[in-house]
Homo-oligomer: A and B are copies of this chain.
Amino acid sequence: MGERRADRLEQALREAGVRVTRQRAALLRVIADADDHPDAAELHGRAVTAGAGVSLATVYRTLTTLRAQGVIEKLEFQGEPARWEAADQRHHDHMIDLDSGAVMEFTDERIERLQAEIAAEMGYEIVHHRLELYVRRR
């Protein structure tokens, strides 16, 4: 599945001087294969199931490392444990279905533009933002 992608990520890490260990490679694979938004425990479970011996502590350490490398992104929704997603995609915001827990992605250029405008008016520039819509089917 996401082997190509994982290989690419490994390469990027090596070039950044980050050691690609058995555990890190396993996690890269799991993350590249995920099309949802798993939390640390879930990622750990998947890696272990895939036959990789990894401890949860290492999963956390690795996630921190990968984030510092800009390879993955951390999502912190209200109350729940943090979730993660590969970062090599277009920017997008999230919509959370309160009933099913499903997380959907969306973007809207107009909103992006308005945000920048508002910040600029107050003398700031946006470093990063977070927009989450908690919704219910109708």
Contacts and interface: CB of A to CB of B under 8 A. Distances in A.
A130 B130 contact: yes
Q: Count identical subunits in the complex.
A: 2
Interface residues of A, number: 32
Nearest to A138: B125
A128 B129 CA distance: 17
A105 to B, nearest CB: 11
Dominant secondary structure at the A interface: strand
Interface stretch (A11-19, A24-32, A108-116): A108-116
Interface string A103-138: 010101011001100110011111111111111111
Interface of A: 76, 78-79, 95, 97-98, 104, 106, 108, 110-111, 114-115, 118-119, 122-138
Top 4 A-B pairs ranked by shortest CB distance?
A: A124-B135, A125-B138, A130-B132, A129-B133
